[in-house]
Amino acid sequence: MEDGAYLKVDNDAIRVLRGAIWIISPGQPAALIQPAEPSRPSESDEQSLKTEVVQAELSPSLKLEAPAKGEENMKTLLILRHAKSSWKDEALPDHDRPLNKRGKEDAPRMGKLLHDEDLVPELILSSDARRARSTTELVVEESHFEGEVIYSRDLYAAEPETCMEALAQMAGRQIA
């Protein structure tokens, strides 16, 4: 997902409302999902948008492989962006910006949602930026997460390739 992308999940449908989302599947070209222009104004406050699928070439550095035969358990990847951060102190380096009041309220709600939907992860990889670390701590507490949290400076403002490399390093890891 690009920064600022927004999805809406309705029962069995996922709609891209803003931004771009890449769907990457083994053996398939990457598909870029973008919102289309609304065909007519929505009756609700929210715009109802269709999506367009644009086929794209995979980056040469990105290789996808199908799961090994006999591998029963597929992993689920949850991507969570940090909660709303504060710009109160403009002199503060970006890496050191804290959460604002709304962020401190929203992060625990996300943790509760993960718990309620039985989506509590087994492992968390997070940037070590202050706002990412604070979001993680609040989500962990409210979700009743009991796994390992790994904070990495490499994930701060990371390009997609860096994130994919970090995930690949976790692929063979045994998670208790």
CATH number, domain with residue 141:
3.40.50.1240
Q: Do 99 and 46 reside in the same domain of the chain?
A: no
Number of structural domains found in the chain: 2
pLDDT score, position 124: 95
Decide which of 172 and 90 is more confident. Answer: 90
Tens of pLDDT along 53-109? 443 443 443 333 444 555 445 677 888 999 999 999 999 999 999 999 999 999 999
pLDDT score, position 21: 72
Distances (CA, A) of 76 to 18, 20, 79, 175: 23, 21, 10, 13
pLDDT score, position 73: 55
Q: Model-level pTM?
A: 0.59
Q: Do 98 and 52 reside in the same domain of the chain?
A: no
Neighbours of 114 (CB within 10 A): 20
pLDDT score, position 34: 63
